[in-house]
Amino acid sequence: MDAHRPHPMMPASNHDEIAEQLAIVDMKMFLATKLDAGQRILLENKVLPEFQKKHGREPRNHQELRKEMEPETAYQAYLTMISTSQDMMWDAVGTCVDRQLDDLMDLAEIKNPKGSVRVNPDFEVPRYIAAQDIHRMPGNYHGTYGERDVRQGAVFDRGAVVYQMGRNGGYMNDIRGHTIISHFLSRWPEGMPLRILDMGCTVGHSTLAIAGYFPEAETHALDVGAGMMRYAHARAERLNIPVHFSQQNAECTDFEDESFDLITSSAMLHETSGKALPNIFKECHRLLKPGGAMVHLEVPGRYEEMDTWSRIRGDYEIQYNYEPFWKGAITADFDKLCKNAGFNDIAVGYQDATVKAEPGNTQFGGPSKGVHRSWLMISGVK
Amino acid sequence: MVALPGLFGAKEKVWIPKGRPSPFHDGPTNDQLLSMVMALTVEVSVLRERLDTHERVSETKGGFGAADVEAYNADNDANAARSSLRSRIMHKVFRILRQETARLENEDQDYDKIMKEFDDV
């Protein structure tokens, strides 16, 4: 695979741009391992004992300790560096995309497509997306800058490689798609859906992996950005996998009742809201044929399993990585949400991440192996 | 010619994320400084990688490679030139620290008095 242009639609990066992206990956890795470990030591060896001494009691919650962390210069520097490295990443990728945006828009014009793309000029972007730029990505998932624009798709495609630090399937970023099907085939080894819908698909990282397992199926995918959908469509066409993309809200799509055999999403639910979640599950139920299956993938790690430092770190995600529903998603009662929406045969648990889904695998149901090694699966049958 | 990152003329725009600003330090100066150091670190990494590419490309084209660079012995002239290059870098990077102490040495002026002088005029 050529790092300059790993697939035919991805924005090309020259020598120095690749070096810049890799340096930022390494910097993010350094922060996530070495400096992160230091914060835990700071908390456990200094901040906590000082709190106990000062107040003569244990802290009531992680927020009390977070407030004591805030004056620590090492913690301040850590926070600055994680937010700055995130901004540097989007800037590096954004400047790379912007210098070739005209070429990318030309590349996105597909003659005789096998799939399709539908955008909606009157689309109302849900407030939980529009309120702030998720992951600090300027322009967010939905930013669109003209009728042929594909910028945010291009930025997200190249940026996700840097953001995931290669742990989600390198340049294709498709391990989550394989993992969804691995879960599906672990529960239903004979499963052969003929109509598939992937919700919150962004550029189609997971969608194409999912579609690849069922070449006879008609695959649809939706997300909230017009530019994102145009890019996703061009990417799928240039990778020769037909998918029908449309700009839609997963809470209320325009598909008819009982349109699909399988509905999926990859790490979409935690970018929604407490009000949206039940709507999305109900919409999945409406769209599935009787006997059809829903498989949502979410971030691993539940709030109740997290230690104090992980919760403090989580507060950063919520407040400064602009993930307002991060805590809501990892405390949500998914079993109840599925039941309330009318699903049967519900399963909520961890599936091992994989690059190849095997029918009848037994990689579901164990403990979480950690970020990018396991994913939380929420599945059920109509 | 290969376009360099960041050099895209009229299209240049500073993209900022929509969301609350990050007040991690008591004042913004330390945050800004740290951000600049991080950006510099990446720039140095890019430069270092470019040098590495030069050695590797040169070697595949029958020119010198990393081993030739390692085997190179600087003569006296080269060493002297390099020493002044290094001094210049130290001077540039640590100028701010020396400025602080240099001021202590020269601090013999009463600036409040000078302000008054001009005010009076």
Please give the helix or strand (H or E) that residue A222 lies within, else none. strand A218-223
Give the pLDDT of residue A44: 92
Give yes or no for residue A55 having a pLDDT over 50. yes
Note whether A350 and A367 are within 8 A (CB). Answer: yes
Which residue among B3, B17, B34 sits closest to A77, beta carbon to beta carbon?
A: B34
Look at phi and psi of residue A301 and say left if phi exceeds 0, alpha if psi is from -120 to 50, else beta.
Answer: left
Beta strands in A248-324 (DSSP E): 260-266, 288-298
Mean pLDDT is lowest, of A184-198, A287-301, B30-44, for: B30-44
Give yes or no for residue A5 having a pLDDT over 80. yes
A167-170: list long-range contacts, CB under 8 Å, 24+ apart.
A167/A371, A167/A372, A168/A205, A168/A372, A169/A205, A169/A209, A169/A355, A170/A1, A170/A6
Mean pLDDT of A176-195: 97
Mean pLDDT is lowest, of A128-132, A294-298, B114-118, for: B114-118
Is A133 in Cβ contact with B5 (below 8 Å)?
no
Mean pLDDT of A320-333: 92
CA A366 from chain center: how many Å?
Answer: 22
Give yes or no for residue B120 having a pLDDT over 60. no
Give the pLDDT of residue A295: 98
A85 by Cβ neighbours in 10 Å (0-12 / 13-18 / 19+) ranks as: buried
Give yes or no for residue B50 having a pLDDT over 80. yes
Give the pLDDT of residue B4: 39
Mean pLDDT of A62-85: 91
Q: What residues 84-103 of chain A have any CB closer than 8 A to a CB of chain B?
A: 84-85, 87-88, 90-92, 94-96, 98-101
Please give the helix or strand (H or E) that residue B90 lies within, else none. helix B76-93
Give the pLDDT of residue A53: 97
Q: CA A127 to CA A74: how far, in whole Å?
A: 35
* pLDDT, chain B, mean: 76
Mean pLDDT of A173-189: 97
Contact of A52 with chain B, judged by CB distance below 8 Å, is answered with: no
The DSSP bridge partners found for residue B12 are: none
Q: CA A285 to CA A64: how far, in whole Å?
A: 42
Q: CA A80 to CA B32: how far, in whole Å?
A: 9
Please give the helix or strand (H or E) that residue A195 lies within, else none. strand A195-199
Q: CA A206 to CA A176: how far, in whole Å?
A: 6
Give the pLDDT of residue B80: 87
Note whether A83 and A90 are within 8 A (CB). Answer: no
Q: Closest residue of B to A101, CA-based?
A: B11
Q: Closest residue of B to A69, CA-based?
A: B24
Is A96 in Cβ contact with B50 (below 8 Å)?
no
Q: Å from A118 to nearest chain B CA? A: 27
Among A319-323, A339-343, B39-43, which range has the highest average pLDDT?
A339-343
Mean pLDDT of A227-254: 98
Mean pLDDT is lowest, of A41-45, A169-173, A371-375, for: A169-173
Give the pLDDT of residue B119: 66
pLDDT band at B2 (very low <50, low <70, confident <90, very high): very low
Among A48-57, B20-29, B93-102, which range has the highest average pLDDT?
A48-57
Is B53 in Cβ contact with A27 (below 8 Å)?
no
Give the pLDDT of residue A3: 77
Give yes or no for residue B93 having a pLDDT over 80. no
Is A76 in Cβ contact with B19 (below 8 Å)?
no
DSSP letter (8 states) at residue A303: G
Give yes or no for residue B6 having a pLDDT over 50. no
Backbone angles phi, psi at A188, to 5 degrees: -135, 80
Mean pLDDT of A188-194: 97
CB contacts, 8 Å: B6 with chain A? 95
Is A88 in Cβ contact with B42 (below 8 Å)?
yes
Mean pLDDT of B89-117: 68
* pLDDT, chain A, mean: 94
Give the pLDDT of residue A161: 84
A26 or B105: which leads in pLDDT: A26
Contact of B71 with chain A, judged by CB distance below 8 Å, is answered with: no
SS3 A335: helix
CB contacts, 8 Å: A94 with chain B? 15
Give the pLDDT of residue A216: 96
Give the pLDDT of residue B104: 64
DSSP letters along B14-59, please?
----SS-----SSSHHHHHHHHHHHHHHHHHHHHHHHHHHHHHHHH
DSSP letters along A168-193, please?
TTTTT--HHHHHHHHHHHHH-TT---
Contact of A115 with chain B, judged by CB distance below 8 Å, is answered with: no
Is B18 in Cβ contact with A133 (below 8 Å)?
yes
**How many alpha carbons lie under 13 Å from residue A232 in its C-beta half-sphere?**
33
Token duo for residue B99: 């400025």
Give yes or no for residue B112 having a pLDDT over 80. no
Give the pLDDT of residue B10: 44
Note whether B3 and B12 are within 8 A (CB). Answer: no
Token duo for residue A97: 């995309």
Give the pLDDT of residue A136: 94
Q: Å from A282 to nearest chain B CA? A: 30
Contact of B18 with chain A, judged by CB distance below 8 Å, is answered with: yes
Q: CA A348 to CA A50: how far, in whole Å?
A: 40
Give the pLDDT of residue A141: 97
Listed in sequence order, the residues at least 6 apart from B10 whose beta carbon sits closer than 8 Å to its beta carbon are none
> Tens digit of pLDDT for each residue in A128-163?
999 999 999 999 999 999 999 999 999 999 999 887
Mean pLDDT of A351-374: 93
pLDDT band at A180 (very low <50, low <70, confident <90, very high): very high
Q: What percent of chain B has pLDDT over 70?
A: 66
Mean pLDDT is lowest, of A211-215, A320-324, B80-84, for: B80-84
Q: Å from B33 to nearest chain A CA? A: 10
Q: Closest residue of A to B54, CA-based?
A: A15
Interface test with B, best of A14, A15, A16 (most B CBs within 10 A): A16
Contact of B23 with chain A, judged by CB distance below 8 Å, is answered with: no
Which residue type, as a one-letter code, is found at position B88?
A: R
DSSP letter (8 states) at residue A345: E
A164-170: list long-range contacts, CB under 8 Å, 24+ apart.
A164/A372, A165/A25, A165/A28, A165/A29, A165/A32, A166/A25, A167/A371, A167/A372, A168/A205, A168/A372, A169/A205, A169/A209, A169/A355, A170/A1, A170/A6
